[in-house]
Structure 1
Amino acid sequence: RIAQLVGEMGKPDKVMTIVYAVGLTHHTTGGELIRSGAVLQLLLGNMGRAGGGMNAERGHANIQGNTDHAISWEILPGYLQIPAPQRKTIDEYVAAQAPKKFDPHSWNFFGTNYKKFMVSLLKGWYGDAATKANDFAFNFIPKPAQNSSWMSIYDQSLKGKMQGLILSGMTATSIGPDSNRVMQALANLKWLVVMDALPTTSSEFWHRPGADPKSIQTEVFLVPTTHWIEKDGSFVNSGRWSQWKDQVLPPEGNARHDHWILADLFQRVKQLYQSQGGKFPDPIMATTFKYRNPMKPELDEIAQEVNGFDLTTGKRMATFAALKDDGTTTAGDWIYTGSYPPSGNLMQRKLGVQDVAKNDPTGMGFFPNWAWSWPLNRRVMYNRASADLAGDPWDASRPAIKWDSVQAKWVGDVPDYPPTMKPYTQDPTSWLPFIMTGEGVGRLFSSSMADGPFPEHYEPMESPIKNPLHPTQSEDPAAFIYTGGTGNFGKVSDSFGKPDEFPYVATSYRLTEHEHYVTQHVPLLAGLQPSPFVEIPEELANQKGIKSARPGHQAAGRQHHRRQEGVPGRHPDSLGLRRRVRGE
C-alpha cells in the first residue's frame, strides 16, 4: 500500500516530500538511505517543487546553521571542500574540487564561481594579509591528511595522540555511537574544557557509574556559557530560513557568551605567539578581528562579516553574484551573502500570518518577508524544475515559479535560475534546470559517495541477520572502522557483540517530556521522566516471563545498565529503549 501511494506521487498534480531524522542518518548505512530517497524523488519528479524534496527533521533549532558554517570537518563555510595536503595552490585546489561542466547547456554555477567564493572567504578571514602575491593566504588553511571527524578525534585520544580537548556546546558522551568508548577517550586526556550552560555527561564523565575517579587523571574545566535564550543571533531551520532572535534574559552569574570566551582565548594565544614566537604563527597573527570590542564581538557584527563586504566601497554585499576572485570582496559564507545587505538585517523580518494575503502573495506559504532563506531568500531550491521546458508549472495549482511572457521574467519564488533567461523552448541556448550541477540535470549517480555511484542495501554493522540481497557482503564495505586503544577498545568490531549473545534489535527514541539532554536539569520534566525504560513486544515478554514495570538489566555489546521494563510495547515487533536523560 505504501509503495502504491508513493508511486502515485509521480504525477504532475501530485507531490510528496520525504522527511527524515536520525532514524536514517545515525547509521553506517545513513548515506545510502538518504541517497536512495533523493534518487526516488528525482525519478518521481518531486525535486524543486513546493512540497517536494528531501527534508531533514533536525534535532535542534540550528543544526542546519551549524552545517552551513562548516561544523563538519571536511568542508569550509558554504560547502566548499577542505583542501587536501597535496593542493599547494588555490588554482590546484579549485581544479580538483570545483564541479566540472559536462553539458553545454549546464550553467554549472557552483563550479564556475568556486574560486570567487573561496577567495572572498580567505579575504574575509585574513584581510590585508591575503593578497594575490601569496595566493590569498591559501596555505594558511589546515589541510587534514586523514579522516578528522569527531569520532576520529576520540580515536586519536584512545591511541594516546591527543592531550587536550575543548567541547563547545556539545556533549560527546550523549550523542555518539559508543558512549563507553568516548568516555574512555576523555579519560586518556590530560585536560578537558567543557563550555556549556550547565553540567553535562561529558563534564561529569569521571564519576559515571562504575568509574573510579582516582584512576582518571584528566583535569576538567567547566566554563559556564550563556544559554541560547540569553543571547541574540540566528537560528536556521531545515528550510534554510535564517531567523533572528532577540536576547530574552540577561546572563546569570559568571556565564559568558561562548563566542566571547573563544575571542578571549584567541587574543591570549595571539599574545603568546607575539611574546614567545612559535611554529607558523602567520594564520593566527593575520586573522581579522575588526570588531568594536575584540574581546566581546557582537553577533550582529559577525552576521555582517558572514554576509561579506565590497572592499572598494566599504558597503555590505547584496548578492553572491557580485563576489570576485581578485581580492576586492569578502564573504564569510557565500550562501549567506544577501542576508545582511546595505538595507539592513533581513533575518529580522517578521511579516507573516498577521496578514496572509499581503505577506504571502503567491499563496504557496513562501512568506518572502519573514526572515531570510539562503540562497538569495529562495524558499524552494532548484525551483526551475517545478516548471516544464516551456516555463509552465507542472501543477498549475501549486506553482513555485513560472515564466511571465508579459514581464519577460520568472515570477513566484526567487527563481533558482537567471531571472530573465527565457525558457528552453523559446531559446535553446538557455540553461538546464539544475544550475549547480555540471550536467544541468539531477544526478541519479553520485561521484562523491565512497560507497559507490548508486545506492546499495547494506545491513547495519551490528545486524543479527545476513544481508538478504548479498549475504557474502552484509555490511557497508566503506564504513570507517576505528582501531584506537587496546583491550575492549582495540577495534570497534570487538564491542559489537554477536547475534547469539544479543539476538534482539532495539530502537532508541525520545519522548515529548524531554528535548534530548538539553532539559535534563529541569526538575518538573525530570520528575515526569526520571528514569529510562524498555518497551517490549507482548509476545516476547510472555516468552521471557517479563512482567510490566519490573526493574531490569539491559545489555548490549557496548553498554550495560538498569532500566524499567515496560510491557506491552506499542508496536508488536519492536523493542524500544527510552533514551535516558542523565548519563548512562
Structure 2
Amino acid sequence: MTSHWCDFQNTDVILNCGSNSVENHPVSALWLEKAHEQGAKWIVVDPRYTRTAEQADIWCPIRSGTDIAFYGGMYNYIIENLIEPGLAKYLADGDMSEYNFEYLLNYTNASYILDPEYEFDPATGLFSGWNEKTKTYNVHSWHYETESTEDWDTSETGAYSWVTKPGTPEFTTPTLTNPKKDMTLQDPMCVYQQFKKHYSRYTLDTVSGICGMDKDVLELVYKTYTSTAKPGKAGTVLYALGQTQHTYGAQNTRAMCIMQLLLGNIGVPGGGVNALRGEPNVQGATDMGMMVNEHPAYLKWANTTDRSSLRKWLESQTYSDGYYTNKPKFIVSSLKEWFGENATVENDYGYDWWPKVPSETGAVDYTHISTFELMQQGVIKGYFNWGMNPCHSAPNAGNVRRSMANLDWLVVADQVITESASFWKAPDMNPADIDTTVYYLPCALIYEKPGIILNSGRWIQYRYQACEPWDQAKPDYEMCDLIWTAICDLYRKEGGANPDPILKTKWDYYVDGKMDPRPVAWALNGYRVAGTDCNCDSKNPKTDLLTGYAELGADGSTACAMWIYSGMWSNNKAPLDPAEQPLCRRSTEDKSGIGLNSEWAFSWPSNRRILYNRNSCDMQGKPWNADKKLMEWTGEKWDLVDQADFVAAKDGKPVPPNNKTFFMLWEQKARLESYGMVDGPLPEHFEPFESPCDDNPLNGAFQNPCAFGVNYASTKQGTKEQYPIVGTTYSVTEHWQTGGQTRLCPSLVESMPSQFVEMSEELAAEKGIKNGDEVRVFNNRGSVVVPALVTKRFAPMIVNGKMQHQVGLTHHFGWADLYGTGDVVNDLTPNVGDPNSFTPEYKAFLVDIEKA
C-alpha cells in the first residue's frame, strides 16, 4: 500500500476494483465515506452489486478475470483524449490545463528508448525473447538502449567509498548505464510510442465486449477517473484479492500502478495503489518474506544460480544507482543478525549456511501449490502446517487432502481443530486408508500474546497481551523456541549432517530466560555490533539501537534483520519498554492537516506515510496542490511535512529539486514498461485458466503462456461446454477466512448460518431454482451443495456478443466440529497460479449448477 487508510479522505475520485471495502474492510470505508461527503466521486468495478457499490456514484459490472482489458482500455482512453491532443501544446508552451505532462515526462520512463529488438506480436500474444521450449522469456530485449555508462567512484572521497571499507565483502561494483531518451516522445522505439501502439487495440468496443460491460457506463468510468490527470487532482485505487488471485494477478497489480502513473496519482495525497489487507498482520507477513524466494524485507534468498555465493548475490542484486545501491549493507547486516559473532568477512558472514532455493530450469519447485504435488510423489514426507488451513483454503482442496494422506507426519499449529488438523474426517476420505501421524499444537490467540503487527498502511504497532493463553496453548514464538532448542540439543548430543547452519545461528531472544518478542524487535530494528552486549537475558541490557536504516553498514558493524523496519524501536534509554518506542506513539494531534498522523505508531520505511512523495511536487519542488502539501522546496531547503522518500539532503547539505523521484529504482523513474516481470513487460489481457470464451479478441495466446501449474494432472481443467458458468469466491463480514474462529461464535453463526451460491434471477429461472433451495455446484475437481441466494446483485452479461452467467460463492465453512459446518467450496477452485507470485486463481473458474 503506497498510502494509508486515513489518506483516502484526500482523494477526488475513488476506484474500488477487486475490493469490497464496506463489507470486507469496513474501517477503511469510513475514510472513503468522508471523501465522498467532501465531494469525491466513487466508482466500483465489480462483478456483483456489493454494499460498496450501493454507496458509490457509478457501478460498472465486470466479468471476473478481465481486469487487464479494463485497465488497457483506460490507457487507450488517456492517450487518445488527454495525451495526444495536448502533447504538442505542452512542448510548445508548457500548457498542463488538462493533463500533467511534467509528471509523465520527468517522473516516468515514457521517454526512454527501448532495445531495437523489443516487440510484441498480437497474432501470438508473445513478446520478444520467448523460448517455446522452456515456456519462459529472456528479458534482454525489454531493456533500454544505452547512451553512456558510469562506474562507481569507490575512492576515499567518492560516493561509494564504503565499498573498500575493511570488513566489506569483495564484489565487482555495477556499472550505471544511462538510457537514451527522447523528451518529445516521438521516437518510435521510446516507451511511450510502444505503449501507445500496444494499447491501441484496447478500444471501448473491444473492452466492453471482453468485460461484459455497457459501453456507455465504461466510458463514464474512464471519463470520471481520468479527470484526476489534472495537476492538483488525485484518484485512489483500492484493491484486494479480486485483483491478485488470477494467473496474471501480479500483472493486474502492475496495471493499476501504470494507470496511476499515467494520471500522476502516485506519491500525492489522496492517490496511490492501495491494497486492503484482510487481517491485521498480513502486511507484516508479506514484509517477513513468506514466500519461497523472498528473504525478509523484500530481498532475495540465496539460490543455486546467480545467488549461489555472497559475491554473486551482491553482484546480481545491487543496483547501479538509486537507494538499492545499499543492498550490500542490508544483506550483510541481516547475516550478522542471523549468525551473530559467527558471521565474519572471512566466511562471507555465514552466507553459505543459508539454504539455497533451487532455481535451475526443471528444479524441484517448493511453492505452495506444488508442495501438494510433491506430497503425492512421495518427495515431501513431513509437513509443518502453521497458521493456515490448506485442506480448506488451498485451491483444489480435495487434491490437498488426498496429498496429505501420503505424508508420514503432519504438524498443525492453530487455535482450533481445523479441517487440516482433521483432514482424515473429510466426507471423501477413508481414515482406514491413511497412516499419517498428526500432531496438534494449540497456539495462543492474538489477544493472548504480546507482539508487533502491521496494518495495511504499513503502520507498525505493538499489541499488548490482554490475557493468558487458554489451557495448553502457547504463543508461536515459544513453540518455535521449543522446537529449535530440541533440534540443537539433538545435534550437540548425536551430531548430524551439516550442523553449522543450526548450531552457529544466533538465537538469543530471551528476557529472564524466557522467549520474548522485545529482543526480536531489537533484531528487526537493527543495532551496532561493536561494544554491544546482546545476550538479552537481563532486565537492563546494554544496547546500541539504530535510529534508521541510513546507519547500516556492509562491513559487519551493524546487525539488522529487517532494514525497512529500522527506526521503529530505537530508544536506547528504555529498550524493554514498548511504550517508550516509536511504534507505540499514540498522539492524536495531526500536525499535517491532511491526516498523516505521523505521531501515531511508526510507518515503514523511516516513518514515511506516503511512498514516492517527491512526486507530490513539480520539478521546482512546488506542490501540485498547495492545500495538501507533503513537502516544498523553499529555495534553500526542503520543508517536509512527511518524511522524504527521496534524497532531500546529502552530507548535511540540502539537495535541490531534481527528477530522481523513484529512488528505489536504478533509473529513479517509474516504469510504464518493465523488464521485472516474468510474463511480459506490459500487462496484456489473457483469459483465465478456465474461460467461457471461444477466443481472445486481443491476441492469439488466449491464456497467459507463463501461467503456473497448468500442466499438473490434478488441475483437471474444465471446458465451457462442460461447465458454462463463471464462478468466483468472496467473503462475508460475519466470518473470517476458513471460519475456524468465527464458527466457534454462536452469534456469528446465527447471523450468517451458512455459505451460499449467489446467482441472478435469470439464471435461477433457467435452472428452476428458488431462493433458499439446496444447489449442487460442480466441476471436474469437486462438487459442493450450498443454499441458493437469488438476487439482483448478479445480472447476465453480454460477453463478445453472447449471454454469460456468473455466480459467486462464499467460502468460510467446512466439516470441522464447530457450530456451523458445510462443504468446502475451494474443492472447486483450480490449483493454478500467477508465475510471479504463485498466487492461485480463486477468482475466475468454471462451474455448472443444478438443484440438489
Q: Same fold (TM over 0.5)?
A: yes
2:413 to 195, 216, 219: 195
Q: Distance in 1 between matches of 2:659 and 2:765?
A: 64
The answer to whether structure 1 residue 9 and structure 2 residue 228 are counterparts is yes
Question: Contact 2:649 / 2:655 at 8 angstroms: preserved in 1?
Answer: no
Question: Contact 2:759 / 2:807 at 8 angstroms: preserved in 1?
Answer: yes
Partner of 1:246: 464
TM (norm. structure 1) is 0.92
Deviations 1:273-312, CA, capped at 9 Å, x for gaps:
1111111110110111123359742111211111111112
The answer to whether structure 1 residue 551 and structure 2 residue 774 are counterparts is yes
Partner of 1:326: 555
Deviations 1:506-555, CA, capped at 9 Å, x for gaps:
22211121122241221221222222211211111111211221112111
Q: Is the deviation greater in 463-472 or in 437-446?
A: 463-472
Question: Contact 1:457 / 1:469 at 8 angstroms: preserved in 2?
Answer: no
Deviations 1:456-481, CA, capped at 9 Å, x for gaps:
11111011214433463111111112
Question: Contact 1:263 / 1:294 at 8 angstroms: preserved in 2?
Answer: no
Q: Distance in 1 between matches of 2:790 and 2:275?
A: 32
Q: Distance in 1 between matches of 2:504 and 2:659?
A: 41
CA 1:302–1:39 in 2, change beyond 3 Å: closer, same or farther?
A: same
RMSD (Å) for aligned C-alpha atoms = 1.9
**Counterparts of residues 521-532 of structure 1 (less than 5 Å):** 521-532=744-755
Q: Distance in 1 between matches of 2:812 and 2:431?
A: 22
CA 1:313–1:367 in 2, change beyond 3 Å: closer, same or farther?
A: farther
Q: Distance in 1 between matches of 2:570 and 2:744?
A: 40
1:281 to 475, 490, 499: 499
Q: Could you tell me which runs of 5 or more consecutive residues in structure 1 were left unpaired when the two chains were aligned.
A: 102-107, 353-358, 484-489
Deviations 1:260-280, CA, capped at 9 Å, x for gaps:
011110010011111111111
CA 1:74–1:231 in 2, change beyond 3 Å: closer, same or farther?
A: same
Q: Distance in 2 between matches of 1:7 and 1:292?
A: 54
2:669 to 423, 427, 441: 441
Partner of 1:456: 684
Cα shift at 1:206: 1.0
Partner of 1:36: 255
Q: Distance in 2 between matches of 1:293 and 1:23?
A: 43
Q: Is the deviation greater in 564-573 or in 252-261?
A: 564-573
**Counterparts of residues 51-450 of structure 1 (less than 5 Å):** 51-86=270-305, 87-101=307-321, 108-110=322-324, 112-146=325-359, 147-292=365-510, 296-314=514-532, 315-343=544-572, 344-352=580-588, 359-405=589-635, 408-420=637-649, 427=656, 430=658, 432-450=660-678
Question: Contact 1:410 / 1:419 at 8 angstroms: preserved in 2?
Answer: no
Q: Distance in 1 between matches of 2:251 and 2:694?
A: 18
CA 1:291–1:204 in 2, change beyond 3 Å: closer, same or farther?
A: same
Q: Distance in 1 between matches of 2:297 and 2:769?
A: 52
Q: SS of 2:593's equivalent?
A: coil
2:808 to 558, 576, 581: 576
1:508 to 729, 752, 772: 729
Identity %: 34
Q: Distance in 2 between matches of 1:421 and 1:300?
A: 33
Question: Contact 1:320 / 1:335 at 8 angstroms: preserved in 2?
Answer: yes
Q: Distance in 2 between matches of 1:179 and 1:296?
A: 39
Deviations 1:22-47, CA, capped at 9 Å, x for gaps:
10111112111111111111111111
Question: Contact 1:229 / 1:248 at 8 angstroms: preserved in 2?
Answer: yes
Q: Distance in 2 between matches of 1:36 and 1:52?
A: 15
Question: Contact 1:535 / 1:569 at 8 angstroms: preserved in 2?
Answer: no
Q: Distance in 2 between matches of 1:88 and 1:501?
A: 47
2:789 to 560, 566, 576: 566
Q: SS of 1:55's equivalent?
A: strand
Structure 2 letter corresponding to 1:299: P
Structure 2 letter corresponding to 1:46: N
Cα shift at 1:169: 1.0
Q: Distance in 2 between matches of 1:8 and 1:301?
A: 49
Q: Distance in 2 between matches of 1:388 and 1:79?
A: 30
Q: SS of 1:453's equivalent?
A: coil
2:713 to 491, 494, 507: 491
Q: Distance in 1 between matches of 2:481 and 2:513?
A: 6
Q: SS of 2:471's equivalent?
A: coil
Q: Distance in 1 between matches of 2:613 and 2:699?
A: 41
The runs of at least 4 aligned residues of structure 1 exceeding 4 Å deviation read: 425-428
Q: SS of 1:17's equivalent?
A: strand
Structure 2 letter corresponding to 1:317: L
Question: Contact 1:32 / 1:455 at 8 angstroms: preserved in 2?
Answer: yes
Partner of 2:87: none
Question: Contact 1:46 / 1:52 at 8 angstroms: preserved in 2?
Answer: yes
Count residues in correspondence: 560
Q: Distance in 2 between matches of 1:452 and 1:137?
A: 36
Structure 2 letter corresponding to 1:137: G
Cα shift at 1:158: 1.6
Q: Distance in 1 between matches of 2:586 and 2:518?
A: 17
TM (norm. structure 2) is 0.64
Question: Contact 1:9 / 1:16 at 8 angstroms: preserved in 2?
Answer: yes
Question: Contact 1:467 / 1:475 at 8 angstroms: preserved in 2?
Answer: no
Question: Contact 2:243 / 2:249 at 8 angstroms: preserved in 1?
Answer: yes
CA 1:329–1:467 in 2, change beyond 3 Å: closer, same or farther?
A: farther
Cα shift at 1:446: 1.9
Structure 2 letter corresponding to 1:345: Q
CA 1:389–1:421 in 2, change beyond 3 Å: closer, same or farther?
A: farther
Structure 1 letter corresponding to 2:298: Y
Structure 1 letter corresponding to 2:743: Q
Q: Distance in 2 between matches of 1:456 and 1:78?
A: 29
Structure 2 letter corresponding to 1:377: N
Q: Distance in 2 between matches of 1:12 and 1:295?
A: 58
Cα shift at 1:342: 2.6
Partner of 2:146: none
Partner of 1:23: 242
Deviations 1:242-275, CA, capped at 9 Å, x for gaps:
1111111211100111110111100100111111
CA 1:210–1:100 in 2, change beyond 3 Å: closer, same or farther?
A: same
The structure, 1 or 2, with the larger RCO (C-alpha pairs under 8 Å, 6+ apart) is: 2
